[in-house]
Amino acid sequence: MEVTFLGTSSAVPSKNRNHTSIALRIPGEVFLFDCGEGTQRQMAIAGISPMKVTRMFITHLHGDHILGIPGMIQSMGFRGREEPLEIYGPPGIHELHESIMKLGYFTLDFDIHVHEVKGGTVLEEEDYRITSAPASHSVFNLAYCFEEKKRPRFLREKAIELGLKPGPAFGKLHRGIPVRVGDRIIKPEEVLGSPRRGVKICYSGDTRPCESVIDLAREADLLIHESTFEAGSEDKAAESGHSTAREAAEVAASACVRKLILTHLSTRYKRTEVILNAAREVFPETDVADDLMTVEVKADDSGSGS
């Protein structure tokens, strides 16, 4: 499972940092978390096709997080997309969609399904779950959490000992479906190992440090948290509804996550050492995101945080 940082700047893009967007690549799908201006060009550089984006998750409706959506949608239409696109976002997301559809002249041959989110479970599929929680910003902002549902290991030799032959029955048992062998019913728990923990990734959006994000990110493998300001600028951060590097690190420590990556950096910081060093004093497993940086995320099978 891979996370690619398509944009890591805050309100104003710079030569080295684009507006905010994060791509999460899972088997068969690409999710976008926020879609700032220029996101589709960043995707081209990163080698990620917009046509593979199945879902967008928008944290809030400030321009640096949404202005890439109109161009993305129109480019999808120009390239002949037919598969539907799902967009999730806070109250106001329907009005945003309506405005986008009136912007310029274009035609689409695919459906766009828009979902208003206020918190809780966003969607649940067989292999993953996405939840959200309101964070603390100057406008309503959602933090999102992706959790992989990982099946227990299938104990092949045990299944054979019970009289099963390799084939469709193995798959059924692994999916939790009992199967019959002669006069006997074999239950999944007889041929499955211990429960396994799947990947958990949390993205804060724009926020002050808050308990809701700590709770959402609890024992995550990766927390992606905004760090608009350096340590020592707490007053500025509080006034604008943002976090400092140290505050983001404190959130990571409180949530017992395994890894913290800071993003949404102000253009005032040409060098990131000041951001990174302050955060690592509190939470050593911290990195600062750069545009086009890709991180592979694996689960901690022990089931414990850092």
Q: In what order do the strands lie in the sheet containing 53-57?
A: 112-116, 85-89, 53-57, 29-35, 21-26, 2-7, 294-296
Is 282 strand, coil or helix? helix
Confirm whether 221 is a catalytic residue. Answer: no
Q: Which two tokens stand for residue 81?
A: 């997309």
Query: Which residue of the set 34, 64, 221, 291 is catalytic?
Result: 64
Is 26 strand, coil or helix? strand
Say how far apart CA 33 and CA 124 lie, in whole Å: 17
**Residues 165 and 201 sit within 8 Å (Cβ to Cβ):** no
Spatial CB neighbours of 64, under 8 Å, sequence gap ≥ 6: 9, 10, 11, 12, 13, 19, 20, 36, 37
Catalytically active residues are 64
